[in-house]
Amino acid sequence: MISFFFAVSLASEPALLTPMTPTPALTFSDGPVWSDPGALVWLEGSQRAMLRLPVVVEFSDEHRLGVGKAWLGDHAGNAPEAAVLLKLEDGQMGVALLDHLRKHCPPGLRCAVVIEGMWGRALSGPPALPSADAEPKRHPVTVRRFAGLQDAPAGKLGISK
């Protein structure tokens, strides 16, 4: 009798979990060209907005066990002297960015992709300490979605409407 009462009381309780629904597709309007010297200022002014960014990823080794460097760039993969270096943070993705890269990127040490995310860190915390060596600054990007490979010149940055 106790187990019957328990089952009935659970059946009448409201559901604690909400069913997952797919995230609606975002539409992006064009921003500046990634190689424009003013692009960094535009990106820093767009914090908390969802962005679509053309990114070139360089793997840390031939086995593609990690991301070595990443920068704003096109499908040619060339890193200009004034490239905007990125620190890709994928902690809010369901599947790690590295797993997407391994699956979709052709063999090689570089891969040109399109990602969607926010400029800056998703979680606030203590500021990063400056490094002892003279490494160039890497700008944090919170990656939310792997949007695919770049198959044509990715000229412009995008911002969600």
Element of type H or E holding 148: strand 139-149
Question: Which residues 6+ apart lie within 8 Å of 115 measured at CB?
Answer: 52, 53, 55, 88, 97, 141, 143, 145, 146, 147
The upper half-sphere exposure of residue 133, i.e. CA atoms within 13 Å in the direction of its Cβ, equals 2
* Structure confidence at residue 114 (pLDDT): 92
pTM of the model as a whole: 0.76
* Structure confidence at residue 38 (pLDDT): 86
pLDDT digits (tens, 9 = 90+) for 60-102: 888 888 998 999 988 776 666 778 899 999 988 889 999 999 9
Element of type H or E holding 139: strand 139-149
Q: Are 74 and 150 a contacting pair, CB within 8 Å?
A: yes
Distances (CA, A) of 113 to 19, 86, 154: 31, 13, 9
pLDDT digits (tens, 9 = 90+) for 129-139: 665 555 778 89
Domains of the chain, residue spans: 26-123+136-160
